[in-house]
Amino acid sequence: MGSIELWDNLIQLAVSGISSLWALWLYRKGHARHFSFLCGALMCWSLGLMYWLLYYMLRGYSPPEPSPANFAWSGSHLFLISVAISMASDEERAWHPPLALLAPALTLPFTYTWFALGEVTSPTINLLWGLGFAVLSYVSLRGLMYAHRQRDRRRILYHALVLALVLFNEMMLHISLFLWPEDYLHFNGYYAFDMLVTLMLALLTPALIRAAAERPVNIARA
């Protein structure tokens, strides 16, 4: 493993690990369940990455798919879906705007590309992740649209971060795996997208703190 790849993974491991502990502390302080789910999401991410790194250290190559790391990262998506569902009101959960289907529709070409170009990836994992990305992007876009209707900027920011994580970072990250499969010793698009993923992971907890805070009362309207 080249040094840049190692540092990239270690930084992401540290960020996701510390963020998960921060979310856990917030949950124990306030008992808001969405912080427990966010802690689960970030913990799954960090443990999956830890497993991947330890396996590489032990055996000298990446773990075969499917591996516990794949399950962990898939679990991270499930927990992020749980965050969105737990934050949603009954009205939001009952609302199904057709425009929200745009997000999962955008994930389909990426999923198809994994199946088409991923010679060593497991079809089961491709399907699992594709479904996870589709559902997560749907609930996030629906949440963003609902927050926009309610003029709740803080929730818009949180859902936008999750969408960025899914659509613009993680999906492009996997595409870059196929476009630059040989040159991991030098900085390339893969590392750029992975560092953006790390940035999104770092911003999730503060964004959720803002989103979960009580809306200030508008005195002029009261």
In the shown chain, the binding pattern of residues 78 to 117 toward another protein, with x for contact by CB under 8 A and - for none, equals xx-xx--xx-------------------------------
How many Å apart are CA 77 and CA 95, to the nearest integer?
A: 22
Residue 17 makes contact with another protein by CB under 8 A: no
| Least distance to another protein, CB of residue 55, Å | 6
Should residue 209 be labelled a site residue for another protein when binding is judged by CB under 8 A? no
Structure-token match 């508008």, residue found: 218
Would you say 58 or 217 has its CB closer to another protein?
58
Instruction: Name which of residues 41 to 80 contact another protein (CB under 8 A).
Output: 41, 43-44, 47-48, 50-51, 54-55, 57-59, 63-64, 66-69, 71-72, 74-76, 78-79
Distance CA 22, CA 17 (A): 9
Q: Work out the angle between the directed axes of helices 33-59 and 189-212 (0-180°, nearest 10).
A: 160
CA distance 142 to 82: 14
Q: Which residues of 146-162 are buried (b: 16+ CB within 10 A; e: fewer)?
A: bbeeeebeebbbbbbbb
List the structure tokens of 16: 């996701």
Query: Could you list the residues that contact another protein (CB under 8 A)?
Result: 28, 33, 37, 40-41, 43-44, 47-48, 50-51, 54-55, 57-59, 63-64, 66-69, 71-72, 74-76, 78-79, 81-82, 85-86
